[in-house]
Amino acid sequence: MSILKRKETAFLFYVIPMVAIVFIDYTGIAKPVGSELISWAIVIWIFSYFVGIYNMFKSRLAVLLERKPGWQYSILLFASFFGILIFGFMQHDFGYNWIVENLLTPMTLGVKIYGFVLMIILARGAKTRNFDVTFLLIVLIVVMFGKSALGPAMIPDILVLKDFFEGPINTGVMRAIKIATGIGLIVIFIKGLLGLEKAYIGEIVLSAEE
């Protein structure tokens, strides 16, 4: 087994720093050590950008050199990356701001049109293959109809139904999920402390199937 996947390594790099940070945060003892650990974590995290960029460049360069379908987009990616990097380093406000305001922001907004996406989900993505989803969609229609101006005007009783779904039903389910999620979080934390859960260092789950 690789030394990085040994239980001792997981303890050294994950469990001990985590317990130390929690202990220092609660007790206030040796605060500089806690700050130092967090600084190390931030430095490692920033360095991990390079790992990701290396991977991205490697795969995009292969697409470009082998002229795979869509290779033109790789040129765009490299040009964008180096363009914004150069303007960023030069502290060239005009160039940098122009890219952010005229390219990055409109493209980001274009991708993130939440409302529109939510509306087309029902048309394109909804999988009404079982009773649960069909029931959920019916409830959704009732609530939406109840919230609109036209709904209560046409059927006044729909408000009672809408409040019932939004009130006891919704609140109860949300609280149940919150409580169960909290317990699940504690369990994952304990598994991490005991060295049972090592997915964060690339440890594969060993199935007893074979």
CA dihedral 176, 179, 184, 186 (to 10 degrees): 180
Which x/- pattern, by CB under 8 A, does the window 179-198 give for other proteins?
xxx-xxxxxxxxxx---xx-
Count of residues touching other proteins (by CB under 8 A): 66
One of 56, 103, 141, 159 touching other proteins (CB under 8 A): 56
* DSSP assigned state of 157: T
Q: Is 136 in the site for other proteins (CB under 8 A)?
A: yes
- The smaller minimum CB distance to other proteins, of residues 155 and 196, is found at 196
58 binds other proteins (CB under 8 A): yes
Q: What's the closest the beta carbon of residue 9 comes to other proteins, in angstroms?
A: 13
Site string for other proteins, 105-134 (x = CB under 8 A): --xx--xx-x--xx-xxx-xxxx-x--xx-
Between CA 195 and CA 8 the distance in angstroms is: 9
With CA atoms as reference, report the closest residue to 158 among 142, 138, 139: 142
Question: Does residue 147 belong to the site contacting other proteins (CB under 8 A)?
Answer: no
CA-to-CA separations, 46 to 20, 53, 133, in angstroms, rounded: 22, 11, 42
CB 145 within 8 A of CB 158: yes
Residue 39 binding other proteins, by CB under 8 A = no
Per-residue burial over 135-157, b = 16 or more CB atoms within 10 Å of its CB, e = otherwise: eeeebeebbebbeeeebeeeeee
Q: How far is the CB of 151 from other proteins (least distance, A)?
A: 20
Q: In whole angstroms, what is the distance from residue 80 CA to residue 96 CA? A: 11
Residues in contact with other proteins by CB under 8 A are: 41, 44-45, 48-53, 55-56, 58-59, 62, 69-70, 107-108, 111-112, 114, 117-118, 120-122, 124-127, 129, 132-133, 136-137, 140, 174, 176-181, 183-192, 196-197, 199-209
